[in-house]
Amino acid sequence: MAAAAISQDGRLGVVGTGDGTVLGLELETGRELFRSKAHAGGVLGIAISPDSAQFATCGQEPNAKIWRATGQLVCDLPGGGAAWVEHVAWAPSGGQIATAAGRKARLWNADGAPLLETEPLESTVSGLCFRSDGTALAAIGYGAVHVWPLVPGAKPRRFEWKGSLISLAWSPDAKVIACGSQDGSVHFWRLASGRDSEMSGYPFKPKALAWDSESKLLATGGDATATVWDFRGKGPEGTQPIQLKAHKSVCTRLAFSPRKIVLASGAQDGSVLLWEPRRSTRPIRYAFLEDEVAALVWHPDHCGLLGGDAHGTLRFWETG
Amino acid sequence: MKKIPVTVLTGFLGSGKTTLLNRILTENHGKRIAVIENEFGEIGIDHALVINADEEVFEMNNGCICCTVRGDLIRILGNLMKRRDKFDHILVETTGMADPGPVAQTFFVDEDLRELFVLDGIVTLVDAKHIQLHLEDSSECKEQIAFADVLILNKTDLVTEAELEALERRVSGMNSMARVLRARNADVPIPAVLDVGGFDLERAVAIKPAFLSPEYPFEWAGTFEVEEGRYELMLEDGPDPTMAFITMYLDGNELASSEGAAERALRLWSEQALALAPSSSFDIGADRPISLRLDAQDTKRFSACAPKAGRIGFYTQHLPAEFQLRLLRGLVVKTPLAEHEFAVGHSHDDQVTSVGLHLEGEIDGDRLSTWISGLLREKGTDIFRMKGILNLKGLSKRYVFQGVHMLFDGREDRPWGTSSRTNDLVFIGKNLDRAALTQGFKRCRV
């Protein structure tokens, strides 16, 4: 298990594995809908279109791919000479797909026609994210966050930070871009003012980042503790974060429910916990996978949580 | 879970990296190897995965430690570990111009890599014919030699035996910890490069004699038979204002160059030296080194007294020929029964050298820690690698440690057993001050 996604209509789960296979699952029954050897090496990313009709995958090979929700290949998206396409994202507005390979990000329409190719960045793109309304695309690497507008008239922006950015999460209200840095810090930028802040002191690099649906809480994982920053009022600068301590090993995945302020966290030892960080710093429910948690995805209606581990176990828990 | 070994291959363009890589890939049937290289070469082997890397080096600031790491390696190796088809070995090839430091540091600094991989060794290929040129004008070339666990002198058929020996002495002087292999067409035994254990302290300890042997502070040893009575030592003008030496009685048929005798001499060498002006006298077999003052013009004479008859080892800091040193009994110049020249680190004028220190007694952990941290803060960029096996006060086991630039890790090892409880420390770096390092280390003694 390397990556997973759930369609907006809540019916389809798409799972990618370490050997390059992509599986389609009917979530309600767990029935396998399709299975294809999508990539020569392991799958690295999956993104489903908002209308649930198509999805895109990328992996350890030079091309990304677009598929129909039924599992038929639509077309290849070439990586432009890079060995791997490492990231893929589908615009929440529907019509566009972004891929990142090497130092460039590329934009395609839903049929796979190329729309745009960025200039090479200073370093390899290590994260990719659309603005929640689909009007801009952000990419990170060493030294900066780049934001390219996808509507006429707006200018590209660049937010510098001398460090290797390794994770990226753009708040649903589009106001804040948060990044984890290799040097054990979380950095964020408020887009309106361009003002940035650094939350340092993580013992390990914060690979997992998650915003709640109201853009008020940012959950970050750098070690066994899930650290939640509250953006209400003047925060989180100068405030103490909410520290969620129960995992016994490094927290590898974080996901907020799209409907409620419930956080799911998964750790290296396979433990999965649910939290209501505003109410309590003790977990409200727990479950287990067999190995390091590699994916945690909420059902769009908050009725379930899909979790997969590095060993290949996949579980769908009802939460509604 | 067993960690996956990583071998780093360095060397200048034309040194034979690709040849060696191809040999490893074709001869290691059954092993799944992932090769991370800077550019795609002419390699197409079924069981190997070749990944193109971009050598993205960046600076990381973690607390008070600043170091450079390879961002692309963190990303690529992290992604590889998500695959089902796990690898048995990873090979990282660097460009000829690359400094191996960031690669090594990456495996110390990144927590994910540290957990899943172990840096087995840095293998540096040296073009025996053209290396002299690069050594003069390239700091990368020196760094590649200094960082190596294994140095392969390649294309030996293009140079004479004498040139090869000189080269071997020179690179050993720069890096006394590395194992030096000779090859014509990168034809070295594969286990010698894939199973090095260079960052494995257990192994560093196991190969202790090799870890120490090229590190004697004396260049020459002569074995003499002496009778009880007076002798005279005569020296002419030479290149240095002082020269240290040791005389020591040997057992039975022992030669001064034998490992046991040389080790004993090495221990005596760490004692405070007695400074001696011309016309003074000394006892043969006294338990300390003697430093002769040689700044006067013309012939310098010292008288020596042998308290008993027997076989002695005479160890000199520099070659006796440089000062026309001779030992006389009356008017007769004694000829040694045997003599031996040691390869030493400090006799070259290279900026990059190894300094090996040996100390008897117990080391105070706090003092050591203060000294090492201060040293790394000041000279961390100049110290490429270090390794040590120490007898720490209050510890029943040996304490082993190693470092790359400012990063280091140390831990308790196994019990001393029957081996003698002493302290050995080796630094490899640029502009190392042997005297200051020796002094600093000595101050750590309990």
B209-249 per-position pLDDT tens digit: 444 444 577 889 999 999 999 999 999 988 888 899 999 99
Do B33 and B126 belong to one domain? Answer: yes
CB contact under 8 A, B54 and A42: no
Instruction: Establish if B208 belongs to a structural domain.
Output: no
| CB-CB contact of B32 with B47 (8 Å) | yes
**Quick one: closest CA in B to A82, which residue?**
B52
Chain B residues with beta carbon closer than 8 angstroms to that of A83? 51-52
Tell me what pLDDT residue B246 has.
94
Tell me what pLDDT residue B315 has.
94
Instruction: Establish if B346 belongs to a structural domain.
Output: no
Residue among A17, A83, A103 minimizing CB distance to B52: A83
Task: Supply A137's token pair.
Answer: 């695309």
Calculate the CA B218 to chain-centre distance: 15
- DSSP one-letter code for B217: S
CA-based nearest residue to B97, from B38, B141, B50: B141
Q: Nearest-5° angle of CA B393, CA B387, CA B420? A: 45
**Is pLDDT of B45 > 80?**
no
CB contact under 8 A, B49 and A41: yes
Residue among B72, B79, B111 minimizing CB distance to A204: B111
Chain A residues with beta carbon closer than 8 angstroms to that of B59? 162
Tell me what pLDDT residue B41 has.
53
Q: Nearest-5° angle of CA A166, CA A315, CA A85? A: 35
Do B333 and B360 belong to one domain? Answer: no
Residue among B56, B85, B110 minimizing CB distance to A124: B56
Tell me what pLDDT residue B211 has.
43
Tell me what pLDDT residue B208 has.
45
Cis peptide before A114 (omega within 30 of 0): no
Do B48 and B185 belong to one domain? Answer: yes
Instruction: Establish if B211 belongs to a structural domain.
Output: no
Q: Between these two residues, A157 and B50, which has the higher pLDDT value?
A: A157
Residue among B51, B61, B82 minimizing CB distance to A2: B82
**Is pLDDT of B117 > 50?**
yes
Instruction: Establish if B410 belongs to a structural domain.
Output: yes
Task: State which H helix or E strand residue B320 sits in.
Answer: none
CA dist B186 and A113 (Å) reads 48
Do B106 and B253 belong to one domain? Answer: no
Please state the rounded mean pLDDT for residues B368-395: 90
Tell me what pLDDT residue A113 has.
96
Do B226 and B113 belong to one domain? Answer: no
**Is pLDDT of B409 > 50?**
yes
Do B318 and B414 belong to one domain? Answer: no
CA dist A180 and B19 (Å) reads 41
Partner residues linked to B184 by β-bridges: none
CB contact under 8 A, B60 and A164: yes
**Is pLDDT of B66 > 80?**
no
Q: Domain of B379: which CATH number?
A: 3.30.1220.10
The least confident of A295-304, B129-138, B278-287, B384-393 is: B129-138
Tell me what pLDDT residue A255 has.
98
Please state the rounded mean pLDDT for residues B136-161: 90
Do B178 and B230 belong to one domain? Answer: no
**Is pLDDT of B207 > 80?**
no
Do B259 and B360 belong to one domain? Answer: no
Do B324 and B241 belong to one domain? Answer: yes
Which residue ranges form the domains of chain A, and what is each CATH number? 213-320 (2.130.10.10)
The least confident of A77-86, B93-102, B339-348 is: B339-348
ipTM of the complex: 0.86
CA dist B136 and B236 (Å) reads 33
Mutate: best of B32, B58, B76, B113, partner A, most A CBs <10 A: B58
CB contact under 8 A, A182 and B79: no
Across all residues in chain B, what is the average pLDDT? 85
Q: Look up the domain containing B127 and give its range.
A: 4-199
CA-based nearest residue to B388, from B263, B208, B213, B259: B208
Alpha helices in A23-181 (DSSP H): none
CB contact under 8 A, B58 and A164: yes
CA dist B111 and A104 (Å) reads 27
Q: How confident is the model at residue B345 (pLDDT cuts 50, 70, 90)?
A: very low
Domain count, chain B: 3
CB contact under 8 A, B75 and A163: no
Residue range A118-151, pLDDT digits in tens: 999 989 999 999 999 999 999 999 999 999 999 9
**Is pLDDT of B138 > 60?**
yes
Instruction: Establish if B85 belongs to a structural domain.
Output: yes
Looking at CA atoms only, how far is residue A311 from chain B in angstroms? 8
* CA dihedral over B307, B311, B317, B321, signed as positive or negative: positive
**Strand order across the A63-68 sheet:** A43-48, A54-59, A63-68, A73-78
Instruction: Establish if B255 belongs to a structural domain.
Output: yes
**Is pLDDT of B199 > 80?**
no
CB contact under 8 A, B61 and A205: no
Tell me what pLDDT residue B344 has.
56
> Which residue, chain included where needed, has tokens 């040296």?
B126
CB atoms within 10 A of CB B324: 12
| CB-CB contact of A154 with A143 (8 Å) | no
CA dist A241 and B191 (Å) reads 51
Query: Within 13 Å of residue B382, how many CA atoms lie on the same side as its CB?
Result: 13
Considering B164, B199, B234, which residue would you say is the last residue of a domain?
B199
Chain A residues with beta carbon closer than 8 angstroms to that of B65? none
**Is pLDDT of B22 > 80?**
yes
Under 8 Å CB-to-CB from B364, ≥6 apart: which residues? B392, B393, B444, B445, B446
The least confident of A262-276, A278-292, B329-343, B347-361 is: B347-361
**Quick one: closest CA in B to A87, which residue?**
B79
Chain B residues with beta carbon closer than 8 angstroms to that of A86? 75, 79
For chain A, residues with pLDDT lower than 50 are none
Query: Within 13 Å of residue B6, how many CA atoms lie on the same side as its CB?
Result: 25
Task: Supply A108's token pair.
Answer: 């395609």
Mutate: best of A37, A44, A182, A204, partner B, most B CBs <10 A: A182
Tell me what pLDDT residue B342 has.
78
Q: Domain of B113: which CATH number?
A: 3.40.50.300
The winner for highest mean pLDDT among A132-136, B96-100, B173-177 is A132-136
Tell me what pLDDT residue B52 has.
78
Looking at CA atoms only, how far is residue A94 from chain B in angstroms? 28
Instruction: Establish if B391 belongs to a structural domain.
Output: yes
Q: How confident is the model at residue B13 (pLDDT cuts 50, 70, 90)?
A: confident
**Is pLDDT of B346 > 70?**
no
Under 8 Å CB-to-CB from B29, ≥6 apart: which residues? B47
Do B136 and B47 belong to one domain? Answer: yes
Tell me what pLDDT residue A250 has.
93
Tell me what pLDDT residue B218 has.
85
Do B324 and B394 belong to one domain? Answer: no
Instruction: Establish if B300 belongs to a structural domain.
Output: yes
Considering B199, B233, B259, which residue would you say is the last residue of a domain?
B199
- DSSP one-letter code for B445: B
Residue among B71, B79, B85 minimizing CB distance to A164: B71
Considering B169, B199, B229, which residue would you say is the last residue of a domain?
B199
Looking at CA atoms only, how far is residue B401 from chain A in angstroms? 23
Do B265 and B323 belong to one domain? Answer: yes
Chain B residues with beta carbon closer than 8 angstroms to that of A17? 84
